[in-house]
Amino acid sequence: MKIIIDDKIPYMQEALREIAVEAIYKKGADICASDVRDADALIVRTRTRCDERLLAGSTVKFIATATIGYDHLDTAYLDKAGIAWTNCPGCNASSVAQYVRSVLLLLAEEQGLNLSEATLGVVGCGHVGSLVCKVGSELGMRVLVCDPPLGNPGFVSLAEIEQQADVITFHVPMEQGGSYPTWHIADDGFFGRLRRRPFIINSSRGGVVDEQALHCALDNGTVSQAIIDTWEGEPAIDRALLNKVYIGTPHIAGYSADGKANATNMSVQALCRHFGIKTPEPIDPPSLPASFVYTGNPLELYNPHDDSLRLKSNPDAFEHLRGDYPLRREHIYAQTPHQCAE
């Protein structure tokens, strides 16, 4: 069996060591039709657009994307072509929640946000958003949740979040059509309706926030600050906006070693199920070095300022900073428990 794999998916060689496959590793953005023509499967990330242009005439039978989002997969074409596909729902949800927790702690320490008196507006309450709600509650915040597709009577409208939230964080998939589009959900109208000069956090998809509208909102003080992890036009991001935001990171909110290992394990497990192969033992992410000192402050485990400084110092290195991301753990473990979801 021949598999084409994005070479930046971590721990993949270790995960496949017990499986007799021909594995070819390539930069995700460079995977082309000639690469996949005689392949049986692909394991990709968001940088590989899987559509008719890539796959027509190929022998590909299965695609796994080692990500929660799958808007880079043309699922209508895949279904029509009889190519099975899977994503990794929830694989890095706790990693993104760690990112948001760290941001909230920094807003409290550096921006004067009183968490116990602040309202957190969470837009999107799936795997990630539900954990972010828990983070807000644990920090003593009032939490408002907007997710119309779920139809939960305890949730609120986006208009209520616009009126009441001191921090608004987005955790929605990218949908450009349908009943609940999320493309530019934070547009000029959204920013114009804000009442409390909130802090804006986007760690979902770049197009969820209209970046030109965010420019104006920052310039006119409609929002207090912005924290942006996902950008329009990645990796060629808006450098002027990067310089304006409080924290700007290279799409790494979900890049803890724990989340990466989950995604790799889930992708390999799905591959094995599809082809009837015995599933290997799941891999564990590496431990933090013995020299690491932790006194109980979550910012010791992860401080987004570090990633922001690296990106602002060298915006051209966006892809490099993602691909060669340093070791980050969500917890201190003597031995990491498996967190792989089905």
Question: In the 3-class helix/strand/coil scheme, how is 32-46 assigned residue by residue?
Answer: CHHHHCCCCEEEECC
pLDDT at 332: 75
Residue 191 exposed, middle or buried by CB count within 10 Å (0-12, 13-18, 19+): buried
Catalytic residue among 127, 171, 251, 328: 251
Amino acid identity for residue 18 in this structure: E
CA–CA distance, 15 with 269 (Å, rounded to integer):
10
Long-range CB pairs of 215-219 (<8 Å, 24+ gap) are: 215/240, 215/241, 215/244, 216/188, 216/191, 217/191, 218/244, 218/245
Which pLDDT belongs to residue 281? 92
Torsions phi, psi of 326, nearest 5?
-70, 160
Query: Is 234 annotated as catalytic?
Result: yes
Q: How far apart are CA 100 and CA 217, in angstroms?
A: 21
Active site residue 127: no
> What are the φ/ψ torsions at residue 315 (nearest 5 degrees)?
-60, -30
Q: Does the domain spanning 93-248 belong to CATH 1.20.1090.10?
A: no
8 A C-beta contact, residue 31 and residue 44:
yes
For every residue of 43-70, DSSP letters joined together read EE-TTS-BSHHHHTT----EEEESSS--
Q: Which two tokens stand for residue 83?
A: 């190519």
**Of residues 101, 127, 205, 329, which has the active-site annotation?**
205
Which of 162, 163, 168 lies closest to 190, judged by CA?
162
Distance (Å, whole) CA 322 – CA 255: 8
Other beta carbons less than 10 A from residue 246's beta carbon: 21
Residue 342 has a pLDDT of 29
Catalytic residue among 14, 234, 274, 331: 234
Place of tokens 């891999």: 283
- What per-residue confidence (pLDDT) applies to 18? 85
- C-alpha 276 chain-centroid distance: 30
H-type alpha helices, 114-254: 127-138, 158-164, 188-193, 211-220, 239-244
CA–CA separation, 33 and 55 (whole Å): 6
Q: How do the domains of the chain map onto residue ranges?
A: 2-87+257-275, 93-248
Residues near 20 by Cβ (< 8 Å), separated by ≥ 6? Answer: 1
Q: Residues 231, 236, 239, 240: is their CA dihedral positive or negative?
A: negative
Residues in the chain where the model's pLDDT stays below 70:
333-342
Instruction: Please check whether residue 10 is in contact with residue 286, taking contact to mean a CB–CB distance below 8 angstroms.
Output: no
Give me the CATH topology for the region 2-87+257-275: Rossmann fold (3.40.50)
What is the structure's pLDDT at 333? 57
User: CA separation (Å) from 29 to 34, 54, 72, 215, 301?
Assistant: 14, 12, 11, 29, 31
3-state secondary structure of 167: strand
pLDDT of residue 69: 87
Give residue 331's pLDDT.
87
The Cα–Cα gap between 256 and 184 comes to 27
DSSP string, 247-272: EE-SS-TT--HHHHHHHHHHHHHHHH
Q: Do domains 2-87+257-275 and 93-248 have the same CATH topology?
A: yes
Backbone φ and ψ of 34, nearest 5°: -65, -30
Catalytic residue status for 251: yes
